[in-house]
Amino acid sequence: MGVAAITRYGSRLRRVTESAGMTRRWPAGLNQPSALLLIAQLLAVMAYPFLDTSRVGSAVLGVISMIAVGLALWVVRSTPALTFIAVALGVPALLMTVLEAFMPGETWVVLTGALLHAPFYFYVFYGTIRYVFHDDRVTTDELYAIGAAFTVLAWGFTFVFLAVEIIWPESIKPLSNGSGRFFDLLFFSFTNLTSVGLSDILPTGSHARSVVILEQVGGVLYVAMVISRLVAMTVRDKK
């Protein structure tokens, strides 16, 4: 390989690394924050059935939620989105998560936390999408970001459903009592975002149905947007 070829390869590798927001100072594995966020979200989904039945389990879930919020802040900081807005939304949401661990089931705490978490996760979704589409290259972390953005969007709608259920009771049913209600709403959110409709939980109130429509449309548009982007990049590369 000639000197010119090596120079071109090094320059291209550096551009790809910079486009992903990575530097060589990060330890192995920490240069892909989107992957860590996606893993944290999926682990939380797997952990809920085992941990939401006891006080200790609820505390562990609270820790997992705080880790997920911290990772989401990290992801947004690695994207073109404004870090200030993410911190302004994320820090209060994190504080409410801690407060909810000490005051489980307190209606005003749960409602306030839902109203803070929902816009925060929607903003993280926005920042992640900007990160994926900010250039003409697809890095490994951007592929993870596609999955992370989808789960973050589902989480955001889950908190919207939680707020709707508190403000307008029995808008969504049947739901479990206590901490199991959130997992039911998370399941409900994913079934609507993926448009599979495989759910025994139904929106019975008009406000809940409005949110369901928005989530279903958002899920379909997200898949169409990602696929069209990848196809366009593939066609352009072949030319």
pLDDT digits (tens, 9 = 90+) for 146-157: 888 899 999 999
Across 19-23, 93-97, 158-162, the highest mean pLDDT is recorded for 158-162
The model's confidence at residue 20, banded by pLDDT at 50, 70 and 90, is very low
| Per-residue model confidence (pLDDT) at position 15 | 46
More confidently predicted of 102 and 7: 102
Q: Is residue 169 part of a domain?
A: yes
Q: Is the peptide bond before 174 cis (omega within 30 degrees of 0)?
A: yes
Mean local confidence (pLDDT), 232-237: 68
Percent of the chain residues past pLDDT 70, beyond the cut: 74
Q: Is residue 18 part of a domain?
A: no
Q: Is residue 179 part of a domain?
A: yes
pLDDT at residue 105 is higher than 90: no
Size of the chain, expressed as the number of residues it contains? 239
pLDDT digits (tens, 9 = 90+) for 28-46: 455 677 888 888 888 888 8
Q: Is residue 8 part of a domain?
A: no
User: Per the confidence metrics, is the pTM higher than 0.85?
Assistant: no
Q: Is residue 2 part of a domain?
A: no
Other CB atoms closer than 10 Å to residue 128's CB: what's the count?
29
Q: Is residue 232 part of a domain?
A: yes
Count of domains forming the chain: 1
Q: Could you tell me which residues are beta bridge partners of residue 172?
A: 203
Q: Is residue 12 part of a domain?
A: no
∠ CA 201-207-211, nearest 5°, is 70
Q: Is residue 197 part of a domain?
A: yes
Domain of 220, in residue numbers: 30-238
